[in-house]
Structure 1
Amino acid sequence: MVATWESQRTVFRRIAQQPYVQWPVYDSTPLYDQTSLAGLESDIQIVSEVWFTHHEHDSLEQFICTLPIAYFRFEAHDRYRRSTCYEMDTLFRVFMLKELHGWKNETALLEYLDSHPELCERLELGTVPDQSTLWRTWNERFTRDLRDTVQKAARTILIKAQNAGVAVPREPERNLPGRGDDATESDPNDQAILDKAGKITDHISRVVFPAFSLNRGEGCEIPENAYWGLQTYLGLRENLAANEGAQSFIHESTRDRTPLGHGHRDQIRDLPIEQIREMYRQAVQQLTNELAGTEEFFRAGIVAIDITEDDPFTGDRTGHEDEIIGTKEKNDEYAYQWATVQLVGNAVPLVLDARPVRRGESRKEIV
Structure 2
Amino acid sequence: MSGSIYGKNFTISTWGESHGEGYGVVVDGCPAGLPIDESQIQAYLKRRKPGQTKFSTPRKEDDKVRILSGVFEGKTTGTPISLIVFNENQRSSDYSEIASYYRPGHADYTYDMKYGFRDYRGGGRSSGRETISRVAAGAIAAAILRELGISVYAYTKSIGPITIDYKNCRKEYSLTNPLSMPDPEASKKAEEYIQEKQEENDSVGGVIECIVTGMPPGIGEPVFDKLDAALAKAVMSIGAVKGVEIGDGFLAATHTGSENNDPFAYDENKKLIKLTNHAGGILGGISDGSEIILRAAIKPTASIGRPQTTANKFNENIEVQIIGRHDPIIVPRAVVVVESMVAITLVDYLFQGMTSKMDNIKKIYNKN
In terms of fraction of residues, the more helix-rich structure is 1
Greater C-alpha radius of gyration: 1
The answer to whether TM tops 0.5 is: no
After TM superposition, the score normalised by the length of structure 2 is 0.27
In terms of fraction of residues, the more strand-rich structure is 2
Greater relative contact order (Cα < 8 A, sep 6+)? 2
After TM superposition, the score normalised by the length of structure 1 is 0.28
